[in-house]
C-alpha cells in the first residue's frame, strides 16, 4: 500500500542495487516511498533522486510513508517528468559524470518504449522497469509486450478460436486472476499485441492503436540497443506462497521451487503475509547501449 507492494519486486530491486553498486540511484514514481526505502536498505550511503508528482511527506499526515534524508525530491512544485530533466546538469552538480554508474528505476506507469528512448538519449545504461505487464493486460505498453513476437521462442499469439491456445487459456484463467482468455487478449481484426492492438500510456489514459508492423518495428529497435534483458524471478513457487494472481506459466522459474518448503521456511518466507506475493508483474532489468552506426 506504500507503492511497490510486492515482496518479489522488493527483493529483486534490492538485489539489483546491491549487485550493481551504482554511484547514484534515480527513481521515477515513488508514491509513499517504499521503493526509496528498498534502495536505501540496499545502498545505505548512495544518493537518490526521486521523481514523483506528490512528495511522500504529504502522505505522513494520513499514515505511514518513507522520506529519505539523502534523497533529492523532484516532487510537488519542483516536479518534472523524467524526460524533461536535464540529466547532464542534474548529475554534474552531484559530481556524477559516468552515466554507466547510474541505476534508473521506473515505477511510473508510463509507456516503457517512451521511457527507454528517453533513458537512451540521456546516456543511461542500467534500467529497471517494475510493472512489466504481460500482453493483453494493464495500463501501459511494456517491454514484455514489445518483446512478445512470433520470431522469439514462446512469443506471438493466435486469435483462432479452435487453436490450442484458445482452449488452454480459459482453463488457466480459473486458477490465475491475471490470466486472460482469447476474448480479452484479442481486439478488432485479431489484434493481440500490446493490449488488444493498443499502445497504452499514462496510467491507461492514453490509448493509441498500432499496427502489427509498428509493433514489430518497436521490437527490432529494442533489440538494437539491448545488451541484457532479465526478468527478475518470483521468490518462491505458488504452492509455497499460495499466490493466485499471476500465471506461473508466463513467468520465469522461481528462486525457491515448489516442494522446497523447508528452504522456504528456513529463509523466513513463511512468516510473511501471503498477500505480499500477489503483485508480481515480471519486473525487468535492462542494460542498454546506443546502436552502432
What is the structure's pLDDT at 2?
Answer: 55
Mean pLDDT of 72-79: 96
Long-range pairs of 168-176 with CB within 8 A, sequence gap ≥ 24? 172/247, 172/249, 175/244, 175/247, 176/244, 176/245, 176/246, 176/247, 176/248
Mean pLDDT of 250-277: 95
Quick one: what percent of the chain has pLDDT higher than 70? Answer: 99
**Structural domains in the chain?**
7-146+192-288 (3.40.50)
**36, 68 contact by CB (below 8 A):** yes
The pLDDT score that the predictor gives to residue 140 is 95
For 100-147, the pLDDT digits (tens) are 999 999 999 999 999 999 999 999 999 999 999 999 998 899 999 999
Residue 292 pLDDT: 76
- pLDDT band of 3, cuts 50, 70, 90: low
pTM: 0.95
Would you say 23 and 46 are in contact if contact means Cβ atoms under 8 Å apart?
yes
Distance CA 246, CA 262 (A): 24
pLDDT of residue 293: 59
Coil, strand or helix at 155: coil
Percentage of the chain exceeding pLDDT 90: 89
Amino acid at each position: 500500500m506504500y507503492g511497490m507492494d510486492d515482496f518479489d519486486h522488493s527483493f529483486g530491486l534490492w538485489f539489483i542495487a546491491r549487485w550493481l553498486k551504482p554511484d547514484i540511484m534515480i527513481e521515477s514514481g515513488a508514491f509513499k516511498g517504499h521503493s526509496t526505502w528498498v534502495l536505501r536498505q540496499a545502498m545505505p550511503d548512495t544518493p537518490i533522486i526521486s521523481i514523483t508528482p506528490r512528495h511522500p511527506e504529504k502522505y505522513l499526515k494520513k499514515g505511514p510513508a518513507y522520506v529519505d534524508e539523502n534523497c533529492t525530491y523532484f516532487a510537488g512544485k519542483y516536479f518534472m517528468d523524467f524526460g524533461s530533466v536535464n540529466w547532464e546538469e542534474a548529475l554534474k552538480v552531484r559530481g556524477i559524470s559516468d552515466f554507466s554508474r547510474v541505476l534508473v528505476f521506473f515505477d511510473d506507469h508510463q509507456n516503457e518504449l517512451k521511457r527507454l528512448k528517453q533513458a537512451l538519449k540521456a546516456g543511461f545504461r542500467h534500467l529497471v522497469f517494475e510493472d512489466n505487464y504481460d500482453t493483453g493486460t494493464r495500463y501501459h505498453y511494456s517491454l514484455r509486450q514489445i518483446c512478445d513476437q512470433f520470431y522469439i521462442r514462446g512469443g506471438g499469439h493466435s486469435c483462432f478460436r479452435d487453436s490450442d491456445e484458445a482452449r488452454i487459456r480459459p482453463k488457466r484463467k480459473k486458477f490465475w486472476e491475471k490470466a486472460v482468455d482469447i476474448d480479452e487478449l484479442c481486439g478488432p481484426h485479431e489484434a493481440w499485441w500490446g493490449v488488444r492492438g493498443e499502445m497504452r500510456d499514462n496510467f491507461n489514459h492514453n490509448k493509441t492503436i498500432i499496427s502489427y508492423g509498428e509493433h514489430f518495428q518497436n521490437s527490432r529497435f529494442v533489440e538494437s540497443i539491448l545488451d541484457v534483458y532479465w526478468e527478475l524471478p518470483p521468490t518462491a513457487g505458488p504452492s509455497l506462497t499460495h499466490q493466485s494472481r499471476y500465471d506461473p506459466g508466463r513467468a520465469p522459474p522461481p528462486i525457491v521451487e515448489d516442494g522446497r518448503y523447508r528452504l522456504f521456511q528456513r529463509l523466513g518466507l513463511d512468516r510473511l503475509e501471503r498477500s505480499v506475493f500477489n503483485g508480481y508483474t515480471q519486473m525487468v532489468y535492462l542494460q542498454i547501449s546506443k546502436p552502432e552506426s
